[in-house]
Structures are given as C-alpha cells and as structure tokens.
C-alpha cells in the first residue's frame, strides 16, 4: 500500500513539475518578444532623431543574438519621403536606453542627417505596426 501511495505521489509531482515548466517556457517566449519590441522602439526613436525625413522603419524578422555580450543584431530598412531606401545593421541591448551603433551595409544611399519631426510608420519584427 505504501509503495502505491509513493508511486502515485511521484507521478503527480512529475505532472505538476512538467506543467510548471511548460508555463514558464511559454511566458519566457512572450517576455522575449516584448523585450524585442521595446528594444526596437528605442531604436526606431533613435533613427528618427538621427536621420531626416524618415517615413517608414522596418525591422527584419531575422535577427542574431550574441549571448556573450547580450547584444541583438538586426537589419533595419529605413525609407524617406524622397524615395530613398537604405538598409542599416543595428546592434541593440536590453540594458541600453539609447542605441549606440549603426553599421552601414554595402553601397547604399546615404541618409540625410537631421531630425524627423513628422510621424513615421514602424514595422516591428513581429509584424506589428505603429506610428511614432
């Protein structure tokens, strides 16, 4: 009788632990997506404060993570009202409030320096759109 009680208790403990682990993993994915959107929001505002006449900022769905440094790298397509589209590489960190590094890629048109005061459409990596 004692063995049967221990066996049932062990099975219940494994089931409860498995359910808790699944819930934690699901919440971890949601937290990671929220962190990406927050970092992309900071980056979009920095792009608007760095380049003039920006109309659309689109973040790539594919991004790389450097677990050693904590930085996330993503390609961003910036469109201006003059029809100029430029793709820049951006390194983001959840610890930074201001994006620090832009890496131009290839021979792309140069974006005009300045501040964009009008609203720009931002397309995040999770396909959500907002205007800033």
Distance CA 88, CA 105 (A): 6
Q: Model-level pTM?
A: 0.73
pLDDT value, residue 55: 95
pLDDT for res 112: 81
Q: What's the pLDDT band for 124 if we cut at 50, 70, 90? A: very high
Tell me the average pLDDT across 16-42: 84
Confidence of residue 106 (pLDDT cuts 50, 70, 90): very low
User: Structural domain tally of the chain?
Assistant: 1
Q: In what order do the strands lie in the sheet with 101-104?
A: 101-104, 85-92, 71-80, 54-66, 121-123, 129-131
Residue range(s) defining the domain that contains residue 36? 2-131
pLDDT tens digit sequence for 47-101: 888 888 999 999 999 989 888 888 889 999 999 998 888 888 888 887 766 654 4
Work out the pLDDT band at 42, boundaries 50, 70, 90: confident
């Amino acid at each position: 009788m004692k063995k049967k009680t221990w066996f049932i208790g062990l099975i219940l403990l494994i089931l409860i632990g498995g359910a808790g682990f699944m819930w934690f993993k699901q919440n971890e994915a949601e937290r990671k997506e929220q962190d990406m959107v927050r970092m992309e929001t900071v980056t979009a505002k920095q792009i608007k404060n760095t380049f003039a006449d920006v109309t659309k900022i689109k973040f790539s769905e594919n991004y790389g993570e450097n677990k050693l440094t904590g930085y996330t790298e993503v390609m961003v397509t910036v469109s201006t009202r003059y029809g100029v589209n430029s793709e820049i590489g951006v390194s983001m960190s959840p610890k930074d409030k201001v994006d620090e590094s832009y890496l131009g890629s290839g021979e792309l048109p140069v974006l005009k320096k300045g501040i964009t005061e009008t609203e720009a459409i931002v397309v995040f990596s999770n396909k959500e759109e907002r205007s800033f």
